[in-house]
Amino acid sequence: MPQLTYWRRPRNWPRLVRASWRSSLQFRTVTISVALSGVAILLVGVYMSASIGNDLFQSRLSQVLLESDRATSAAQSLLDSSDATDRVQVQNLLSAARTSISAASSSRLVAVLRVPGQDSSTVAPLDSSTFGQSTGVIGAELRTEVQANIGDQFWQSVTLTGDDATTVPGIVVGSQITVPVAGRYELYIAYSLKDAEETLLFVQQTLGVAGVALMLLIGAVTWIVVRFVVTPLRVAAETSQKLASGDLEVRIPEKGEDVIATLARSFNGMADSLQSQIRALADLSEVQQRFVSDVSHELRTPLTTIRLAGDVLYDQRASFAPATGRTAELLHTQVERFELLLSDLLEISRYDAGSVELESEPTNLVYLAEDAIDSLRSLAESKGSDLRLVAPGGYLNADVDPRRIRRVLHNLIGNAIEHGEGKTVVVSVDSDANAVALAVRDYGLGMSQAEVAHVFDRFWRADPSRQRTIGGTGLGLAISREDASVHNGWLQVWSSPGEGSCFRLTLPRVAGAVLQASPIPLPPADATADATAVLGDAGQMPVPGGGRHD
């Protein structure tokens, strides 16, 4: 499974995510929902964590202050009730007071420091502290406040360091006590906030886990909900794609009464009417095609008879009176044109009916061009045109139907002679690895942009009153275009008023191959009026790159 291995490679992930973001409505909706709810959950989580943390601290602080107040009062009472006078007694008294403070305050960290600035006394016990590693945490500011205020409690948030060098947040509460004989002492009791911190950590972890679980849940719910909406939309999109590509039978399943069902019903209604209209049009067009084909066939028999009779009259025209002789000649040419028109009509109706079979064989386009030039040489001479063949390439065979290509060539060269105003007509044949091209360039009247747009239309002529020498039917280029398109080829035109025209036929060398470029440039290399030059559309193929050359 190549798809799976592609997914497994991490370097493909950004591209895959980008592709999914562009192509999947479901992916986009789920991602946006999860991201937005993630932000909301994060904000709520941060707020909850901060407010719970604050609450835990405040309640612990009031508890600590209460406990330390109680312990200090108890110690002070103990000290006040003593009648110790010498150094050892005072020392013992202070130790007892400290023990009672420790017991009452449930804290082992107690420091007793003599307030500086008092008369030195030999009985006054030395400073003592059980703060251990945390000795330095009592700030100077706290000390100043405690030293200056008797009977008040002050506190400070600190970081306590345990014996094993671990740190925990804590609170140090300070107040003054008075020791008989020895004077005033600062008393500091430190309380650990480890429990509160652990509780907060637990709450934060729970909030984190709950937040992630909630995001996953929101993602899953959105995925399911969006799936409900997207699945029918996807079916509708796929169905309309099939309909657009010509499968007129497809319909969307209609279920329920909701908006999706309404969409399905109206889509199906549209498809029904589209199908019936296309059928009606197809029927009509078939009737028309059959009519044209039938009429052409039906006309053939009487026309053959007329032709035979006309030929007899034409052969005897010398024995007729001059006016009758001219009538016989007129009849002869018009019957010939009629026959041509009929065979062109039959050919085009065959194309319309889609019943054209290509009889491809390896063909040399240069030889075909030589044949066509030879057969039209007398016409060219009568017009005073010089027919020239330029063939630097194109001698290798191409897979084409020679009868059709000969017909295209005949038509293009014939038109060039007819509209070439007696000037030279150049036929070029060239080829590359994939394509063979043939261009017919004349230096005659040329056509305007508006005329070029219609040049492949059936029965269109730039000047309907123009005298016709070789009896064109107005179907020549329409059939040539069909001939090119049945070969998967291009028939394109460049023309400029006063500069002449150039028709280019490009055919793939191998039957059925897709053309990419043409070996002959269009507009032709000798086109000077570039600004006014126009590139006619072959009708069946876009000009690659939308440019003037291929």
Contact status: 473 vs ligand ADP (CB under 6 A): yes
Backbone CA torsion sign across 216, 217, 219, 224? positive
Q: Which stretch binds ligand ADP (CB under 6 A): 6-14, 245-253, 378-386, 459-467?
A: 459-467
Q: What do you get for the CA distance between the two ends of the chain, in Å? A: 40
- 260 vs 477 by CB, closer to ligand ADP: 477
241-280 positions binding ligand ADP, by CB under 6 A: none
Phi, psi of 29 (to 5 degrees): -65, -45
- 192 vs 501 by CB, closer to ligand ADP: 501
In the numeric block, the tokens 């909030």 are attached to 207
Binding flags for ligand ADP, 407-436, as an x/- string (CB under 6 A): ----x---xx--x-----------------
DSSP string, 30-42: HHHHHHHHHHHHH
CA 335, CA 228: separation in Å to the nearest integer? 71
- 227 vs 423 by CB, closer to ligand ADP: 423
In the bound complex, what is the minimum distance in angstroms from residue 236's beta carbon to ligand ADP?
45
Contact status: 496 vs ligand ADP (CB under 6 A): no
CA 172, CA 521: separation in Å to the nearest integer? 94
In the bound complex, what is the minimum distance in angstroms from residue 523's beta carbon to ligand ADP?
14
Query: Of 125, 211, 310, 444, which lies in the binding site for ligand ADP, with binding defined by CB under 6 A?
Result: 444
Contact status: 289 vs ligand ADP (CB under 6 A): no
- 303 vs 462 by CB, closer to ligand ADP: 462
In the bound complex, what is the minimum distance in angstroms from residue 402's beta carbon to ligand ADP?
20
- Structure-block tokens of residue 125: 């016990």
Phi, psi of 156 (to 5 degrees): -155, 140
With CB atoms as reference, the residue minimizing the distance to ligand ADP is 472
CA 541, CA 488: separation in Å to the nearest integer? 9
- Total residues contacting ligand ADP by CB under 6 A comes to 19
Q: Say if residue 508 is preceded by a cis peptide, omega within 30 of 0.
A: no
Contact status: 445 vs ligand ADP (CB under 6 A): yes
Residues 6+ apart with CB under 8 A from 440: 409, 412, 413, 415, 416, 425, 426, 427, 502, 503
DSSP string, 175-211: EEEEETTTEEEEEEEEEE-HHHHHHHHHHHHHHHHHH
Q: Which stretch binds ligand ADP (CB under 6 A): 162-170, 199-207, 298-306, 443-451?
A: 443-451
Report which DSSP code applies to 117: T
Query: Of 474, 497, 537, 539, which lies in the binding site for ligand ADP, with binding defined by CB under 6 A?
Result: 474
- 218 vs 445 by CB, closer to ligand ADP: 445
Residues 6+ apart with CB under 8 A from 61: 155, 171
Q: Which stretch binds ligand ADP (CB under 6 A): 104-112, 123-131, 177-185, 438-446?
A: 438-446
Q: Which stretch binds ligand ADP (CB under 6 A): 114-122, 262-270, 394-402, 469-477?
A: 469-477
Binding site for ligand ADP (CB under 6 A): 411, 415-416, 419, 442, 444-445, 447, 455, 460-462, 472-474, 476-478, 501
